[in-house]
Amino acid sequence: MTGDPTAPVKACYAAWSKSYYEDFYGTKAPYPPVHVDLLKRVLREAKVRRVLDAGCGPASMLRHLAEEKLDVYGFDLAPEMVAEARRVLAPFGVPAERIWQGSVLSAEGFRSPTAKSAKRFDAAICIGVLPHVPEEADVQVIRNLRGAVRKKGLVVLEARNTFFALFTLNRYSYRFFLEELVQAERLAADAGRDEAKVRATLASLEKQFRMDLPPVRRGKAGEPGYDEVLSRTHNPLVLKAQLAAAGFTDVQLLFYHYHCLPPMFEAELPELFRHESLQMEDPEDWRGYFMASAFMLVGRRA
């Protein structure tokens, strides 16, 4: 990858600082932020007191953790997000220097520029960030998170669920079939004289999915939107193995944001869809592998 991979992401979120929390955590959010209570429970059970949010946005999570009387710290890629997080956390008595600008791709980003020494945290969380990280940088982010916590410290890493594409029956499903399961380009290359037939078959496969869904999320004021910058999903089994390989123990996989039906049917039964989906919210339900769009991995530094 050439150039700065963070530049489009920074531009995307720069104009989002004032509305991001309301869009995804507010009363009119498409789905209640069930992961807030899930995260609070995980930190509470681990008796965490001092927590770092790597990619904190406008203090989306930190404001809830500050309500829990935790000592909160955080950094974000976009200076606009940093400014908004400082504003939101000021009434909780959080000093401005506890929120700084930094990148999860750099170990230095995990340390406040004003800190006299590097102090490790009881826990480090990373929510809504990994989708925007290049695939080759996933392991580095995991290492940086590990370096930020004390021995036996907790890391909570959130990601979008690749396997959810097996349930959505839309353009994400088609891409998952082609790229992950069928591996279309390899199949076509191996087909020899039958390459044209293979490509015709793949074109026929495309017709089985709603390729117009979901709508592409674009920017609001000329900046690139969420679906116009790098916004990946992650295989929970692969990511869990990467955490274990990086020196984490007791790694837990917790699913959230369930869908009782493929999301294209929500508009037909909106009240029932939300009620039944919320009834499904169980982070350890095996159906989460396919019916939950997101997950958290929780591990302890060995």
Do residues 188 and 295 both lie within one domain?
Answer: no
Please give the residue range of the domain that contains residue 50.
Answer: 7-163+214-301
pLDDT in tens, 61-70: 999 999 999 9
58 preceded by a cis bond (ω within 30 of 0): no
Do residues 296 and 228 both lie within one domain?
Answer: yes
Do residues 52 and 86 both lie within one domain?
Answer: yes
What stretch of H or E contains 295?
Answer: strand 292-301
Quick one: CA torsion of 159, 258, 68, 247, rounded to 10 degrees? -30
Gap between the Cα atoms of 234 and 232, Å rounded: 7
Tokens in use for 87? 């504003």
Do residues 177 and 137 both lie within one domain?
Answer: no
Q: What is the pTM of this model?
A: 0.93
pLDDT in tens, 175-218: 999 999 999 999 999 999 999 999 999 999 999 999 999 999 88
Do residues 245 and 282 both lie within one domain?
Answer: yes
